[in-house]
Structure formats: C-alpha cells, structure tokens
Amino acid sequence: MRLVTWNINSIRLRIDLLRQLDAVMAPDVLCLQEIKVDDPLFPLAECRAMGFDHVAFHGMKGYNGVAVLSRRPIEAERRLSWCDRDDRRHLAVRLAGGVEVHCLYVPAGGDIPDPDINAKFAHKLDFVRQITDWYAAEVRPEDKVILAGDFNIAPLPTDVWSHRQLLSVVSHTPVEVELLNRWQAAVPFVDAVRHFVPPEEKLFTWWSYRSADWQANDRGRRLDHVWVTPALAPALRATLVAREARSWLRPSDHVPVMVDLDI
C-alpha cells in the first residue's frame, strides 16, 4: 500500500497538481491537509475520476480542512476535534483489512513562541497535549494505525535548515519538540520516514513562499510526517519526499511525503 500525505493548500486551486501527483506517484491512500473548502464544494467527482472510489473529507470555508482519498474501501470514518473547537484538522478512516489511517493538521501556532502572549501558540501546545493523551488511551502498539499529516513541528536538528537559528522560531522550539516527542512516545509511534533516512541527513518537506528563490539557500523544514504503530513497522518498505513538487507550477509550500507498506 502506497500512502502519500500532502498539505495541498487549497484543493480547488491545485486540482491539476493533484492529478499530476496521482499520475506520478499513484498512491493507494492520499491524506490531504488545508483543503480550504467547505464540504458542499468539495471536488468529489474530480477525485473519483482519478480512481479514488472512496473519499472522506471534513472541510470548512476558507481555512484548514482534511481529506482522505483511497482506492481501498473506507469502512468507517471519524471526525475528531480538539480544544473544544470545530476546526476540521483530524479525520480518521478505517480501511478494509483493518488498518486505520489518521489524517492530521496540527495548528501552525502563529509567530511568537510564548503561550502567555500568543494565543495561537498556546492553542498549538494544548492541541498536542490533548491529542497525546487521547492516543495514549486509545491506541496500543499492536494496533495497526498510521498517522499522516502536517504536524507543523520539525523535531530533529536536521529537520530544519539551521538548528541554532530556528530554536526560537515556532515549529522548532524546545517546548514543541518535547511535546512532539512525548506524543510519539505515547504509543510509541515509529517515524516511517526517519526509519529509512538517517537522522544526520537533512530532510525538508516545506519551504516558505516568502522567498524569492526557495532553492537558492534551501531554507526548509520537515513539518510533514508519517508515523506508524510498532505493529506496522515490519511492513515498512520505502519512503520518498517529492521535493520536485515544490517546483511545479503554482506549487503548495509543502511537498508530498510518500511511504510504502507491505499491507
């Protein structure tokens, strides 16, 4: 099974790039974040035309929104929410065969890394704390569960272009990294991408739009992740970060992350 996660940053604006991604990578399961469309306007027919017969989505007008496109039957879906908000960041589907796939979009957290000053940062920390407690209670190592999405946190020094310069930048602050590690340890989850790419190797999935030339200095961060439960770790076969997608016409600021599993 080939799973791809991608923060698409508007599914309607980038429906042609979605077709391009499908043609190039042919995923069996595609997790999308920031679809930025309310449910009645979701491009369901276009997704079906690509061969995704099973589609779950939970969107809203203008912001956020997540979707799972699948060639395998989706037997059940759950729309989850955290911090008493209904902001469409978490969609869980059970696929035929029993594997559960969770599509996640963790809050970005604003600019100032101080929860006392910046309510968005406080929300991000609360979101991760709540979801950690939930996974600790709900998921066991022997369960077959995949988490995929934009976690908006780059945990390793090699997950950012400059560890030193990003220590005080939201996405790589010590408090966020510690919370992400605590979340991962709660089951524990296996980082499916770092399972194949050694930790000393720089690896990014996002490059800011606010740069004249994203390739010139390669100031990226690894914000998008795929985690699996220990039960699925032996099934991991390969991973790929589709860096070339950042050079597509009118690209998302995130690129697709692929994981192949023998399931």
Residues forming contacts to DNA in the complex (CB under 7 A) are 9-10, 12-13, 36-38, 61-64, 107-110, 120, 152, 208-210, 212, 250
> Cα separation of 259 and 155, whole Å?
19
- How many residues are recorded in the chain? 263
The nearer residue to DNA, 70 or 252, going by C-beta atoms, is 252
The least distance separating DNA from the CB of residue 85, rounded to whole angstroms, comes to 11
Structure tokens that stand for 218 in this block: 């390669």
The nearer residue to DNA, 85 or 140, going by C-beta atoms, is 85
The least distance separating DNA from the CB of residue 3, rounded to whole angstroms, comes to 22
The nearer residue to DNA, 154 or 228, going by C-beta atoms, is 154
Contacting residues for 237 by C-beta, under 8 A, at least 6 apart: 260, 261, 262
The nearer residue to DNA, 28 or 150, going by C-beta atoms, is 150
The least distance separating DNA from the CB of residue 15, rounded to whole angstroms, comes to 10
The nearer residue to DNA, 65 or 263, going by C-beta atoms, is 65
The nearer residue to DNA, 144 or 254, going by C-beta atoms, is 254
The least distance separating DNA from the CB of residue 160, rounded to whole angstroms, comes to 14
Give, in order, the Cα–Cα distances in Å from 128 to each of 104, 121, 202: 11, 11, 25
Whose CA is closest to 167, among 181, 157, 179, 182?
157
Specify the DSSP element, H or E, that contains 137.
helix 119-138
Q: 3-state DSSP call for residue 245?
A: helix
The least distance separating DNA from the CB of residue 255, rounded to whole angstroms, comes to 14
The least distance separating DNA from the CB of residue 105, rounded to whole angstroms, comes to 9
The least distance separating DNA from the CB of residue 95, rounded to whole angstroms, comes to 28
The nearer residue to DNA, 14 or 194, going by C-beta atoms, is 14
Contact 74, 52 (CB under 8 A): no
> Cα separation of 1 and 29, whole Å?
8
> Cα separation of 233 and 195, whole Å?
9
Look-up of token digits 């968005």: 120
What does the angle CA 236 – CA 241 – CA 243 come to, to the nearest 5 degrees?
Answer: 170
